[in-house]
Structure 1
């Protein structure tokens, strides 16, 4: 699967690491991803396949630290990877495989669901990614202008009516509109029929243009009160500007699990604040839209998460014409299980694209 990253120069070239240094560095990173704890030379010596004494391991670790790949969080503690070290690991050493067939089937079954609408598919994708990653699942939705399938006025209390609009992608939206004084009950049916006959199959923008002329031409067909009802209904329907962004976030509570220390709790609180500031998250995910496949942001590579030390793994999803509709992904601590979550996000984006009508971009993998 294609992976794209921000322009970050690794702190040391892979060619400059010999096999021994590479193995020790990889063990430090994998230990961190599994436990979140620093690892010392004695434990590394037990884990690596090359027989080395703890003293020899310490010498290699000193070189890795000088290169900016690892650091010691405390005096006499073990070592952890730096953000640059994590980027280097993801770019150069991470082995990303395909998802097992069972996980693929599970993703398809959970996201699709019988009769699920577009909004339902995207909400379920966010919930799914949260559950599988134990991070926060996020979906960035582009506000679209779908075609109208059904429109109807429904009477409520005296003086009010509910305008119901159903789009061809299954989304349902309602608006409460005031009724002109003296409007007969039959006018609700008359206004509904008038609108349905003229705007079914059109986008809201097209419907407004159509009705501007239709209302003038139909003055004899509709009385003044019914015309005012139609105009009030359309005026109440902003529909949202095309390109407006909506953000779905699921699973923030997952981030509270497996905390190692008080500083972890503070980091998660900061991340919660970041997620509440949806504008920043939307701007971040917008950057992932240009990617052909999965894009990864680690820690301070993105200003939004510079304080919380979080990572984002995201991929775009598309419509039937291949146009990007939005982005989905996972946000969590920098010790995310990258090898598992990268293919998970990639496959979920392909499934969502297919459900929204896009042809598979990679038939062998989708």
Structure 2
């Protein structure tokens, strides 16, 4: 559609979008005339704005003369008129340092990355990370005190996941060590579901040398990880959102707080997370969903800029991005998201 606009219409439309992104307010012809240095009169600009509205690129939210871009208009702007900025060397180093300082645990890296994106973009940072079904290479139980133990899982990709489970009160530390040794010797190289099935079979056949308490720990622990309620890919996923308050602060673009609450409720569902992962995996690099283009944001007035991150085999294992009002600063945020996803992919290795 961008090719159907002449140069004057393109420039006026660009100025309208820029002004709207900056203020969140409807843009009038006099504002655009001033931004263009009075080269065109307000009357001329009004005629062009009327044409753009007829083409579905602008609309009037009120009876005033001001106009704002439609979702289709913003899509055309992003695809054809947007000049994407570039990150400074300091920004690149800051992103790398913040992600790397979190240690090797993927959950820590993702938490840090989402918080950082929320701060740099002034929007809500979002991470979708499915629980992968990769074979394990290390399993360890660590006592956290009476009735609780930490389970450390490391899969073949080097991703670390920590889970807290309940254990019988008074369980000796030596028993937890026995459990760790048993699993390391017998179950490493299997997926969580395969591990659960193997342990269940051994318990039923009474072939294991573990005592009753050990069998209980193993059975309950692995059932917690990969029970019948798990989804494809190894048992659900995790959604990390940082900076939700930034969305609620933008009352100009998001006057209906219930829409935002509904958005976060939708994002918390397993199905929504899977759809996001599938959507990001269908294309290379950053994916942009504007307003009604995505069912999740149909009534929320939000846009999502998201990019997948990969393991060393170039398999998509999650996605990181930013949620904000449709008037977010696309030129600024797109390179932020893109570079952060590349850093995480590199760290995951």
Structure 2: tracts of 5 or more residues without a match: none
Instruction: Show the counterpart of 1:82.
Output: 70
CA 204–265 in structure 1, closer or farther in 2 if over 3 Å, else same: same
- Whether the aligned pair in 2 keeps the contact of 1:148 and 1:204 (CA below 8 Å) is no
1:121 aligns with 2:113: no
- Counterpart pick for 2:160 among 136, 158, 170: 170
Instruction: Show the counterpart of 2:100.
Output: 112
Q: Distance in 2 between matches of 1:110 and 1:184?
A: 39
Please say which structure displays the higher CA radius of gyration: 1
CA 113–52 in structure 1, closer or farther in 2 if over 3 Å, else same: same
Q: Distance in 2 between matches of 1:187 and 1:195?
A: 12
- Counterpart pick for 2:331 among 322, 335, 339: 339
Instruction: Show the counterpart of 1:95.
Output: 83
Q: CA deviation at 1:345?
A: 0.9
- Counterpart pick for 2:347 among 319, 341, 355: 355
- Counterpart pick for 2:22 among 1, 11, 34: 34
Q: CA deviation at 1:327?
A: 1.4
- Whether the aligned pair in 1 keeps the contact of 2:102 and 2:112 (CA below 8 Å) is no
Instruction: Show the counterpart of 2:9.
Output: 21
More moved, 286-295 vs 348-357 = 286-295
Instruction: Show the counterpart of 1:310.
Output: 302
Q: CA deviation at 1:70?
A: 1.3
Q: CA deviation at 1:189?
A: 4.8
CA 201–34 in structure 1, closer or farther in 2 if over 3 Å, else same: same
Q: Distance in 2 between matches of 1:188 and 1:119?
A: 24
* TM value normalised by structure 2: 0.85
Q: Distance in 1 between matches of 2:178 and 2:31?
A: 79
More moved, 141-150 vs 247-256 = 141-150
Q: Distance in 2 between matches of 1:292 and 1:67?
A: 30
Q: CA deviation at 1:124?
A: 1.4
Q: CA deviation at 1:326?
A: 1.2
Q: CA deviation at 1:42?
A: 1.6
Deviations 1:190-246 (A, max 9, x none): 444433433356543454466567669985x83653564465345544335552332
Over the aligned positions, Cα root-mean-square deviation in angstroms equals 3.0
1:157-306 aligned at under 5 Å gives the runs 157=146, 162=149, 164-167=151-154, 169-178=159-168, 187=175, 189-200=177-188, 202-208=190-196, 211=199, 219=207, 222=209, 225=212, 228-229=215-216, 231-233=218-220, 235-239=222-226, 240-243=230-233, 244-260=236-252, 264-266=254-256, 268-277=257-266, 278-279=268-269, 281-282=272-273, 283-306=275-298
SS of residue in 1 equivalent to 2:186: helix
